[in-house]
Amino acid sequence: MEKLYDSFRLALELTPMEYVRSFHDRINWKNRLIGLLGQKGVGKSTLLLQHIRNFDNIDETLYVQADDLYFAGHGLYELAYDFLKKGGKKLYIDEIHKYKGWSTEIKMIYDRLPLLSVVYSGSSLLALKKGTSADLSRRAIEYTMPVLSFREYLNINNKWGLKTSSLDDILKGHVDFPYGEHRPLKYYSEYIKNGCYPFFKEEDFHLRLKQAINETVEHDIPNYAEMPVASAVKLKKLMYVLANSVPFKPNYSKLARDLNIGRNQLPDYIEYLESSRIFNALKEKGTGDAIMQKVEKLYLNNSNIAYAVSDTKPDEGSIRETMFLTWMQEVHSITSSRISDFEIEGITFEVGGKNKKDNQVKEANIAYLVKDNIEYAFGNSIPIWMFGFVY
């Protein structure tokens, strides 16, 4: 265990503290079992270590990675029990999906070691709870960490302290942007290409992002779902077909034939990709159970992925719709619209370029045009970049 402590202290010393994402304050850290989910690269590990540095007693805390060599000869419960006997109170387990049978041991820790608090992080695929042998739904409180909003990107990139804006304020054109010598369209064009992840300043950004996506599709999902090699290959092919077809309107029968995937398997494959936050599903507006709503379209999770994996230059229209969905789903219930692109709480949104007209939404009671390449709001025309301030 001594080496685990050494690795923890080193990671803590190297953790950047200049900017802590506001997502941190959405988490109720008093809960005894917390799950922090999210796709690779969004900053889960950094957030955990930042919280430890700012709020925890280091002598009573341990942070470990679930793929550490220590676990080749030891178990999670064994570690937790030994840690508790040494006075430990808070155990953080990163990349927990890489530990086989993790849910059973986490349940044992929760039930048998009530004096120990546990925070685990991993792929959003864990939210499905498929293939796990223990149900944690009544024990764990899970949070899914999104990619950087446009506001967060601006704050990190420029060392600003811009505040969030409510949807009502955005629809009035009120956002906390400094203007003057700073022009939003310049920053927005950079953001949609490489600003959705905290490592956006690193060299070979798109290559790093593509590698992270491939690791999820080639290793994390297949291992989690216990897929044979042939199925894992088909999953990766499906991911690239969908990525180059967004927004994709599901036609399961045709897609299954084209990729030689079983018709009954295909929905599961797509659900894996969605739950891993590689794709977002836009559902139809319905009056019943939201879980049963039909998927209208599939989008990539964010525009950076499009630039990283697409064979050609991403379509501007798809990029606009992708980012609008990415941002708004974090704060609001968003569905497809019968007459336009999106609907949020009875408000219709049509997304397009700066010359977009309102012909399509004239029959809507309340409608806004979400436009690219404009700096200011005017009437019912709102710049798309402003919606990136909603969180």
Q: What is the pLDDT of residues 280-310, one digit of tens each?
A: 999 998 755 555 578 999 999 999 999 999 8
Output the pLDDT for position 132: 55
What is the bridge-based pairing of β-strands 61-65 and 90-94? Answer: parallel
Q: Directed axis angle between helix 266-275 and helix 252-259, to 10°?
A: 100
Among 13-22, 278-287, 339-348, 373-382, name the one with the lowest average pLDDT: 278-287
Mean pLDDT over 185-201 rounds to 98
Q: What is the pLDDT of residues 197-210, one digit of tens each?
A: 999 999 999 999 99
**Parts of the chain belonging to CATH 3.40.50.300:** 2-144
Give the confidence band of 131 by pLDDT, cuts at 50, 70, 90: very low
Give the DSSP letter string of 211-279.
HHHHHIIIIIHHHHHT--HHHHHHHHHHHHHHHTSPSB---HHHHHHHHT--TTTHHHHHHHHHHTTSE
Mean pLDDT over 363-372 rounds to 96
Cis peptide before 247 (omega within 30 of 0): yes
Does the predicted TM-score (pTM) go above 0.95? no
Output the pLDDT for position 223: 87
Q: Does domain 2-144 have CATH number 3.40.50.300?
A: yes
Q: What is the pLDDT of residues 29-77, one digit of tens each?
A: 999 999 999 999 999 999 999 999 999 999 999 999 999 999 999 999 9
**To the nearest whole number, what is the mean pLDDT of the chain?**
94
Q: Determine the Cα angle at 207 with ends 222 and 11, to 5°.
A: 75
